Every structure is written in C-alpha cells, then in structure tokens.
Amino acid sequence: MLQESIERYLKGYLISRGWELRKTHSLLTLLDHAVHYDEEFKAHADLCENLTAQFWAQHYPGDDLSEVGEDYPQLRSQAAELIRLIKERLS
C-alpha cells in the first residue's frame, strides 16, 4: 500500500503541473517526471527505487519475499518526507 500511495501522490502532483496521465507503476519513472518540475525530488530516488522493487516482488510470483517489508518503518518515514514536499509544492 505504501508504494501505491506514493504513486498516487506523484501522479496527482504531476497532473497538477499539466502532465498527461500515463499508466505506470514505476515510482522512478514518475519521480523522473517530477524532477523536471522541481530538482528537490531527486533526493527521493532511493525511496522510489526500493518501493518499486518491493512492489514488483510482491505482485509477480517467484521472487524472494524474505526481505520485503523489513525496512517499512524507515520507508514510511521517507515517504512522509516526500508527501510533505508534494503538499508544499501544491500549496
């Protein structure tokens, strides 16, 4: 759910900037688009990469899930920072 939440926040931010909605679940792709509007988004690349990797591991059979979710407390904290940035830019 954390990945999906960030995905929706990023898509909402991008749409508010005139970006045409595209079907993607890659947070890195969305973040790359956000960086075109504001360089501060670059600081969240590791978060987006990690959440996207865990998202794919959970949604496609065969991946090793032993480490999925281990770092969620840290990821939630980082996600809150990204959401705060998005809300600041939208206000």
Q: Which of 71, 53, 61 is nearest to 3 (CA)?
A: 53
At which residue do the structure tokens 């959440």 appear? 51
The alpha helices in 1-91, defined as continuous H runs, are: 2-16, 27-37, 45-59, 72-90
pLDDT (tens digit, 9 = 90+) per residue, 23-80? 999 999 999 999 999 999 999 999 999 888 877 766 666 666 666 667 788 888 999 9
For residue 62, what pLDDT is reported? Answer: 65
Quote the pLDDT of residue 70.
72
Domain residue ranges in the chain? 2-90
Min mean pLDDT across 8-12, 13-17, 40-44, 67-71 is at: 67-71
Prediction pTM value: 0.85
3-class secondary structure, 91 = coil
